[in-house]
């Protein structure tokens, strides 16, 4: 016979009352004390009552089971789970994409600037080697064993006997003795040794910075490219020297000299390697400086990238190309000894500012029969008078362009460091023009000519620094924006956002 629910409850309670009332003390002591895990407390009992949230037994020990979000503990667990899953997802994505850091180490920047200074020095030494006509004193190319100079008289006699077979000794230095030969030998040997040092001190640190992940992925690719450029520069150096060791590689009747084309390629590649080191070193330092105060930097970069400054940025880029071309035209002047043709300025044979047409467009430099289709370009690159005229025109254009950029900059609202850069470029170009004119007047003395070549690289460096101050790369802008947005969230939401920013790496 079925009992009603009320009567069933009353009967159950009566049974419990009888069981607990009629028990002796000895039996009570013999009963087991309930374990803490099964203790009945109002707090735990409240969670076990119907209507409260209970974790299913099948899901109590699985990390993927989520507590209901309506529960306080469930909401807390959900927030920790979301944060951990976000971190894990970002770590997995970063591991899949790249293990390189976002920004490069400042130590890499200082190493790049030191390498650039070393290349600057070897460029100056190379100019002295050419001016003293020492570049053809070593007639062999031995990348490894050539690092050691002659150590005894027998070695010196061997080197000198090899030099005696060269066209330069036969046509120009047939009366040269061993002691005079040692002077030009040490100049060329020092230049080659310095080149090896530049290669080693760049290649080994590059491998270290990339292996230890001290540089970003784009910077690692640039460093590898510069290593290739340095290796190619060494090949060009020997290719240039080789042009002065064979009679069939220079014009009949002229004294032995290296090809002006190969000299320009050798110098242009050295300039490119130097500028790449300088640019990337400054870029790393600038990126760290901008990220140190992202809010102010974001405003600064926004101003630089404004449409009002776009003509100035474009003019700076064009000016850099013009300055580089002027420097390379100077290599053509040096290769042809064109600085000895006309030693006055601004005249080229008073009262002329330009030599006569018959001298500028001489058919003697053409390699084809009439009507001489190569007449113009061969005279522009092989005629000493025309080559000097080219250099004068390019140098004057560069000087006037820089003065025009300075005048234009006074009308713009430029940052202070950009204005200082413009003034510095004006000073460099003024000094360079004075040294160039003085070099002509005094028939190309060695110290002044070497200073003029160093001044060309210094001017190019100044224009590059100016360009780095006004250029805004997309990657740098993105990093600054992310850093500024992270600081903005911390300011609005307080410690919670600060902890989240630290956890996510913003």
CA 309/CA 104 separation, integer angstroms: 28
CA distance 264 to 272: 12
Question: How many CB atoms neighbour CB 482 within 10 A?
Answer: 15
Closest C-alpha to 105, from 214, 217, 216, 220: 214
Q: Which residue has the tokens 């008073």?
A: 350
Element (H or E) spanning 178, and its range? helix 178-211
Rounded Cα–Cα distance for residues 130 and 113 (Å): 26
pLDDT at 9: 63
Distance, in Å, from the CA atom of 366 to the CA atom of 309, rounded to the nearest integer, reads: 47
| pTM of the complete model | 0.77
CA distances from 306 to 293, 295, 409, 472, 475 (A): 20, 17, 15, 10, 17
Residue 32, sorted as left (phi over 0), alpha (psi -120 to 50) or beta, turns out to be: beta
Number of other CB atoms surrounding residue 148 within 10 Å: 11
* pLDDT for position 36: 47
Q: What local confidence, expressed as pLDDT, does residue 97 receive?
A: 52
Q: What pLDDT does 478 receive?
A: 92
Cα distance between residue 113 and residue 225, in whole Å: 16
The contacts of residue 397 (CB under 8 Å, 6+ apart) are 322, 326
Burial of 473 (0-12, 13-18, 19+ CB in 10 A): middle
List, in sequence order, every beta strand (DSSP E) within 198-274. none
What SS3 class is residue 472?
A: coil
Closest CA to 387 of 375, 374, 397, 378: 378
Contact 165, 195 (CB under 8 A): no
Tokens representing residue 107 in the block? 């130590």
Which two tokens mark 243? Answer: 């042009």
CB 480 within 8 A of CB 63: no
User: Can you tell me whether residue 70 is helix, strand or coil?
Assistant: coil
Residue 486 pLDDT: 75
Provide φ and ψ at 74, rounded to 5°.
-65, -40
Residue pair 301/289 in contact by the 8 Å Cβ criterion: no
DSSP-derived letter for residue 57 is G
User: What distance in Å separates the CA atoms of residue 384 and residue 340, rounded to the nearest whole number?
Assistant: 9
For residues 137 and 474, what is the distance between their CA atoms, to the nearest angstrom? Answer: 49
- For the record, the structure tokens of 22 come out as 């009629």
Would you say 213 and 222 are in contact if contact means Cβ atoms under 8 Å apart? no
pLDDT of residue 306: 92
pLDDT value for 457: 96
DSSP state at residue 173: -
Q: By the 8 A CB rule, do 235 and 265 touch?
A: no
Tokens of 290: 């901008």
Mean pLDDT by 10 residues, the chain (506 residues): 58 59 53 49 47 46 43 50 51 57 95 97 95 91 84 93 92 91 94 95 97 95 97 93 74 73 96 97 95 91 92 96 97 93 89 90 90 92 95 97 96 94 97 96 94 96 96 91 75 50 46
Give the pLDDT of residue 182. Answer: 94
């Amino acid at each position: 016979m079925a009992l009603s629910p009320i009567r069933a409850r009353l009967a159950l309670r009566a049974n419990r009352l009888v069981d607990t009332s009629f028990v002796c003390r000895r039996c009570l002591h013999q009963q087991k004390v309930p374990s803490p895990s099964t203790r009945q407390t109002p707090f735990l009992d409240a969670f076990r009552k119907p209507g409260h949230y209970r974790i299913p037994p099948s899901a109590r020990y699985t990390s993927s089971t989520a507590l209901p979000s309506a529960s306080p503990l469930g909401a807390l667990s959900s927030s920790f789970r979301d944060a951990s899953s976000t971190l894990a997802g970002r770590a997995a994505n970063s591991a899949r994409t790249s293990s390189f850091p976002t920004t490069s180490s400042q130590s890499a920047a200082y190493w790049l600037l030191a390498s650039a200074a070393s290349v600057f020095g070897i460029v100056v030494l190379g100019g002295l080697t050419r001016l003293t006509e020492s570049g053809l004193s070593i007639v062999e190319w031995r990348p490894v064993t050539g690092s050691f100079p002659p150590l005894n008289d027998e070695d010196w006699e061997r080197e000198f006997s090899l030099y005696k077979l060269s066209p330069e000794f036969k046509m120009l230095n047939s009366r040269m003795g061993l002691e005079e030969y040692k002077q030009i030998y040490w100049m060329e040997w020092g230049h080659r040794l310095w080149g090896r040092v530049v290669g080693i001190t760049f290649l080994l640190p590059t491998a270290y910075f990339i292996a230890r992940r001290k540089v970003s992925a784009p910077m690692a690719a640039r460093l590898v490219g510069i290593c290739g450029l340095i290796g190619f520069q060494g090949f060009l150096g020997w290719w240039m020297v080789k042009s002065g060791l064979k009679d069939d590689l220079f014009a009949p009747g002229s004294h032995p000299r290296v090809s002006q084309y190969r000299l320009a390629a050798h110098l242009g590649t050295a300039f490119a390697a130097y500028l790449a080191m300088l640019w990337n070193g400054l870029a790393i330092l600038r990126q760290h400086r901008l990220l140190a105060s992202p809010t102010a930097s974001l405003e600064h970069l926004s101003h630089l990238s404004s449409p009002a400054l776009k003509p100035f940025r474009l003019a700076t880029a064009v000016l850099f190309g013009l300055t580089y071309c002027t420097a390379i035209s100077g290599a053509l002047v040096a290769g042809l000894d064109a600085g000895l043709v006309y030693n006055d300025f601004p005249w080229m044979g008073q009262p002329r500012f330009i030599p006569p047409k018959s001298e500028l467009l001489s058919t003697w430099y053409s390699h084809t029969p009439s009507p001489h289709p190569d007449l113009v370009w061969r005279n522009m690159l092989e005629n000493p008078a025309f080559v000097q005229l080219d250099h004068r025109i390019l140098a004057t254009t560069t000087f006037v362009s820089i003065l025009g950029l300075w005048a234009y900059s006074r009308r713009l609202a430029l940052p202070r460091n950009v204005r200082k850069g413009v003034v510095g470029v004006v000073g460099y170009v003024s000094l360079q023009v004075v040294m160039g004119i003085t070099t002509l007047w005094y028939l190309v003395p060695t110290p002044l000519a070497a200073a003029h070549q160093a001044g060309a690289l210094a001017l190019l460096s100044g224009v590059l620094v100016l360009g780095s101050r006004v250029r805004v790369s997309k990657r740098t802008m993105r990093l600054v924006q992310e850093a500024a947005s992270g600081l903005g969230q911390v300011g609005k939401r307080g410690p919670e956002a600060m902890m989240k920013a630290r956890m996510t790496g913003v």
